[in-house]
Chains A and B, each alone.
Chain A
Amino acid sequence: MTAPAQVLLLAQRALVQFPRNPILLGFSVMPVLIMYLVFGGLFEGVAELPGFPTDNYFEYLAPTAILLATVPGIGNAGVALAADFQNGYFQKLLTTPTSVGAVMLGRLLGDCVRLAVQAGLVLLLAMALGAEVATGVPGALLMIAMGTMLGIVTFGAISANLAIRTRDAAAVQAIQPMAFLLIFLTSAYQSPTTSTAACCARSSSSTRPSTCCGRCAS
């Protein structure tokens, strides 16, 4: 059996697992939805700032929400690999003519499909909240694909390698908040013209972001 065929088989195994683990499915998408809705609602006024690129803050946040679904979400692939180590299944797979790389890629590919579906759901929610994808369906698909690929090559690779090194699901899980921190450092939250901090600096000494943004908008 060729290596790509092995990767596909192992990806299929991961895909079969997901519906059997509703907690994973639920808790990997819920934080993203909550953050998207909370931040979107909290900073809605920012969209009224002069020069803000769109009049709908949910639309502005949509690509970030997709990244929030894909980048930290791919960390679950590392957790699953570490769990396989802990219950001995990883070693079992290594007694077959399968390489470590194929096992890792199979898991990442399976999670990649899951994340693409979850990212699609987030995008549908964004569209329900008034967001528009200017480039249509191809643009939406490209956005999801890019978000998923970015997740794999960045946090996915880190978490999978950490799983192989530590063989400890808890250790891999512990680095997941780092992915959120990295996303909060992106321009979606830290643009010099639209960030809460910049807004507050230009207005009063209020420390409540919603008040601050409301004042800026007015």
Chain B
Amino acid sequence: MFKLERAERAGGFDLHSPADGAGRERTQRVAGLHLFAWVSVFVGMTTSSPFVGTARSPLDELIGPARNQRLQSAPPLADAIVLEGLAKTYPDGTEAVRGISLRVAAGESFGILGPNGAGKSTTIGMLGTLVKPTAGRASVAGFDVVAEPTEVRRRIGFAMQQAGVDDFATPKELMVLQGRLHGLRKHEAVARAGLLLGIIELDEEADRRLATLSGGTKRRVDLAASLMHLPPVLFLDEPTEGLDPRSRSGIWDTLDRLRSRLGVTLVLTTHYMEEGDRLCERIAIIDRGTVVAEGTPAVLKATVARDATLEDVYLYYTGRAFEDARVAA
């Protein structure tokens, strides 16, 4: 646009004397260029970043094509995850999970809170097809976790409590392999790995061996690898454990945007109440393998006390009384 105006001022186009045929032709050409420029700007505004005039962010680039594919695919289910009496008893007799029933809506962000050994990781492990349930049933994205584990795995991303990375690989290699195992073509996987590494701010470490990176960095790589195929359902077992506040905040932002832009269903376990409050629309508090409370953070807080925090709710339901309640008693 500015270039066109400069050209007009320099006398390159005679817009005000269209009497002769050549002048009219020039005028039409310039008008056509103006129209083309405006259409380009309009198309850009409607299909890319809402921040007109700025470059598209790596996340936008990542999400764009997947969003279109997602919209063209089958309509989302009402409940992305359904658990009915799900239980797990280990061979030594330990009852890790005792008949949990839950529903997580498609696109919802659901948190599982509970003390160590409450059964959070076992529950999420069963949903991720890593642990076989001994009773009950569960479905993820419409597929049974026991009968159709491969279909479930195609539709989930899973970042585990222990960063599952290959120390001999580089972050880029690890992510490309993860993407390719999910069926991405090599060039797609390489491009997506590059974008994700940019999002988690690990561009500079992309080609360093994972063995040389810190535990927190490995966790970020693990999380990014889980996003390679842009799964509709994402399981995160203590996703920001061991991360510094800045990295944690960055990951929360990324998860927020993935959820809002792609409609990713998020299920996460966490010890951080702030994380639960920030990311989760609904929360289940698990203790000794059963759900002791479930609801939105606001409702849960209201059941405990006015002005209660999520930490108060957690302490209240997992056995330790809320401080004010104890004082009142």
Contact = CB atoms under 8 A, between A and B. Distances in A.
A92 to B, nearest CB: 3
Contacts of B157: 95
A87 B211 CA distance: 11
Given A20-B209, A95-B158, A97-B150, A6 B164 contact: no
- Interface bin, chain B: 20 to 34
Contacts of B158: 92, 95
A89 B181 contact: no
B225 A13 contact: no
A91 B173 contact: no
B154 A97 contact: yes
A95 B228 CA distance: 12
Interface string A77-119: 0000000100111111111111100000000000000000000
Contacts of B130: 91, 94-95
Contacts of A95: 128-130, 153, 156-158, 226
Nearest to A83: B167
Interface of A is mostly: helix
A13 B182 CA distance: 15
A87 B164 contact: yes
B153 A89 contact: no
B164 A89 contact: yes
Interface residues of A, number: 22
A84 B164 CA distance: 8
Contacts of B156: 95
Contact of B225 (A20, A90, A92): A92
Interface in B212-235: 222, 225-226
A198 interface: no
B183 A89 contact: no
Interface of B: 128-130, 150, 153-154, 156-158, 160, 162-169, 173, 177-178, 180-183, 209, 222, 225-226
